[in-house]
């Protein structure tokens, strides 16, 4: 009996050693492309934050940096494009490559194809941002980049997807993490190609073109960035806490409900225009239904991590659960604003912009930060250099994103209420909204400080300057202060 037990223990040890070697081989194979994607994403994060800060200052002092390529109408879409497609999407691609490779248990040869795709993707984003600043932009909210930029981005995405398709392997039941990530990648390609091609060819015109543009822009947020963030959380939480997922069947039900409803939530923003009323009503209903999978996913992961000792000390878990909480709040506000009783008074305010900033800056971005804090030590072979820098980054990002989004949301509510008052003039409405803009400017001071700390820390990890591998870099709890 003892010999059998010893043999079994030795077998488990050998299997664990083989699995560790396999994971190390996978990390070594994908390191160049994943690190390059993360590095370019961090660069886009800093640039988009700088452009957003300029736009925030211009709301209060329109004469600030009075150059033709830095007008408010150009800076805002350039900053939004750099943040959405430069930071969020590029970081999501890096996470997707690493997660799919790890869950498939292999990295296919020819990873240079994915590297070439990453180069094309960043080239397309660069072309788009420069074109917008030069005034060559489309009057389509959320997809202002010219068609040429999206075409280059799509070709880069095709190269990455080609390599992912070769790498992908799922012998058993596909994990929830893989389902969300693969679903998001598939939808991004369809949305970028179909929507932009139909618009460019003038296959649809008038209000139908606006409906298609709203669907395309909404798909980038709700069917690409948010699903990858949720899939990343499904991968990280069980790994870091060492606990099995609270409920796999419920999580799969949430997956299907999410993708059924998220594709139909964009049309409520067109209410009040020449859009069929049934489309607006269906969109508003789907916005409310979307709360179920988002809140359910957050609860599923929170129940998984309940009682874990690493929640207060793990950088990844702190960022991930903060991001999940903000995603839940942002989805709730999005659903409420889709109701006609609220939507009509909020259309011409900063409310929608504030909710979008909450979802992207405070939600998806924080989950992506958590993923990078988990992935980079495995790619670099060392741990993060300073827990103080991690804490500083978290505080700057959390307070900055919350303050900026809250300021815009409150400004929108105040302006919307004033618009509904027949005794208020339009100039009074503008002055009321204007009185809240200082918070947006202040938020970028906090955000930029946190992002700079993260960029410095990331560069050190990229060149493998950090603590020796072994003991993870953990945050201090309040009892240790």
Quick check: 67 pLDDT over 90? no
List the beta bridge partners of residue 382: 468
pLDDT at 176 over 70: yes
User: pTM of the entire structure?
Assistant: 0.93
CATH class of 27-463: mainly alpha
Res 374 pLDDT > 90: yes
Across residues 440-452, what is the average pLDDT? 92
* Burial tier of 189 (Cβ tally within 10 Å: 0-12, 13-18, 19+): middle
User: Does the pLDDT at position 212 exceed 50?
Assistant: yes
Q: What is the pLDDT of residues 263-299, one digit of tens each?
A: 889 887 777 777 888 888 889 899 999 999 999 999 9
Distance (Å) of CA 103 to CA 92, 134, 168, 257, 371: 16, 43, 8, 23, 15
The backbone region for 190, taken as left when phi is positive above 0, alpha when psi lies in -120 to 50, beta otherwise, is alpha
Q: What is the DSSP string of 426-478?
A: HHHHHHHHHTTHHHHHHHHHHHHHHHHHHHHHHHHHHTT-SEESSS---PPPG
Radius of gyration of the CA atoms of the chain, in A: 23
Q: What is the average pLDDT score of the chain?
A: 88
Give Dmax over CA atoms of the chain in angstroms.
Answer: 89
Asked whether the predicted pLDDT for residue 208 surpasses 90, the reply is no
C-alpha distance across the termini of the chain, in Å: 50
- The better pLDDT of the pair 433, 188 is held by 188
Q: For residue range 214-266, list pLDDT tens digits in order.
A: 889 999 999 999 999 999 999 999 999 999 999 999 999 999 999 999 988 98
Question: What's the pLDDT score for residue 183?
Answer: 92
Q: Which of these, 155, 321, 299, lies nearest to 233 by C-alpha position?
A: 321
pLDDT of 3: 45
Checking if the pLDDT of 8 tops 50, the result is: no
Alpha carbons 405 and 413: distance in angstroms, whole number: 12
Q: How much of the chain, in percent, has pLDDT values that exceed 90?
A: 58
Cα three-residue angle 426-427-432, rounded to 5 degrees:
100
Cβ(105)–Cβ(169) below 8 Å: yes
Q: Identify which has the larger pLDDT, 59 or 454.
A: 454
Distances (CA, A) of 173 to 103, 182, 445: 12, 14, 46
Residue 86 contacts residue 125 (beta carbons within 8 Å)? yes
Tokens found for residue 299: 């609860």
Contact 84, 360 (CB under 8 A): yes
Mean predicted confidence (pLDDT) in 453-468: 92
Average pLDDT over every residue of 26-36: 94
DSSP 383: E
- Work out the pLDDT band at 171, boundaries 50, 70, 90: low
At 247 the pLDDT is 92
């Amino acid at each position: 009996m003892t010999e059998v037990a010893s043999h079994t223990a030795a077998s488990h040890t050998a299997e664990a050693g083989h699995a560790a070697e396999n994971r190390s081989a996978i990390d070594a194979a994908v390191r160049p492309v994943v690190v390059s994607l993360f590095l370019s994403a961090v660069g886009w994060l800093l640039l988009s934050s700088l452009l957003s800060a300029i736009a925030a200052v211009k709301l209060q002092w329109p004469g600030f940096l009075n150059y033709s390529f830095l007008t408010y109408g150009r800076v805002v879409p350039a900053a939004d494009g750099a943040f959405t497609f430069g930071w969020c999407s590029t970081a999501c691609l890096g996470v997707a490559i690493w997660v799919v490779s790890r869950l498939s248990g292999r990295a296919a040869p020819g990873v240079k194809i994915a590297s070439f795709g990453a180069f094309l993707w960043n080239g397309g984003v660069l072309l788009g941002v420069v074109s917008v600043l030069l005034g060559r932009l489309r009057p389509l909210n959320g997809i202002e980049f010219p068609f040429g930029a999206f075409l280059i981005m799509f070709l880069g995405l095709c190269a990455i997807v080609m390599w992912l398709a070769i790498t992908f392997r799922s012998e058993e039941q596909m994990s929830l993490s893989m389902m969300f990530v693969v679903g998001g990648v598939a939808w991004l390609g369809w949305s970028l190609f179909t929507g932009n091609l139909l618009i460019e060819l003038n296959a649809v015109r008038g209000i139908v073109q606006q409906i298609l543009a709203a669907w395309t822009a909404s798909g980038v947020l709700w069917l690409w960035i948010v699903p990858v963030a949720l899939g990343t959380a499904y991968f990280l939480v069980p790994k870091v806490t060492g606990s099995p997922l609270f409920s796999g069947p419920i999580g799969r039900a949430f997956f299907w409900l999410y993708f059924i409803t998220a594709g139909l939530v964009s049309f409520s923003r067109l209410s009040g225009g020449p859009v069929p009323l049934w489309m607006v009503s269906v969109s508003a209903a789907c916005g409310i239904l979307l709360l179920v999978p988002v809140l359910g996913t957050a609860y599923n992961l929170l129940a998984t991590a309940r009682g874990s000792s690493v929640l207060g000390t793990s950088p990844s878990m702190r960022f991930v659960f903060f991001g999940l909480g903000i995603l839940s709040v942002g989805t709730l506000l999005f659903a409420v604003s889709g109701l006609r009783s609220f939507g009509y008074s909020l259309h011409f305010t900063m409310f929608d912009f504030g909710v979008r900033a909450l979802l992207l800056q405070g939600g998806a971005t924080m989950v992506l930060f958590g993923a990078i804090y988990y992935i980079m030590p495995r790619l670099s072979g060392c741990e993060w250099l300073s827990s103080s820098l991690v804490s500083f980054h978290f505080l700057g990002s959390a307070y900055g994103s919350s303050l900026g989004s809250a300021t815009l949301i409150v400004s929108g509510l105040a302006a919307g209420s004033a618009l509904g008052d027949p005794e208020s003039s339009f100039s009074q409405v503008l002055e009321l909204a204007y009185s809240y803009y200082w918070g947006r400017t202040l938020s970028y001071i906090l955000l930029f400080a946190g992002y700079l700390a993260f960029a410095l820390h990331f560069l050190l990890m990229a060149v493998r300057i950090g603590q020796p591998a072994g003991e993870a870099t953990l945050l201090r709890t309040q009892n240790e202060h």
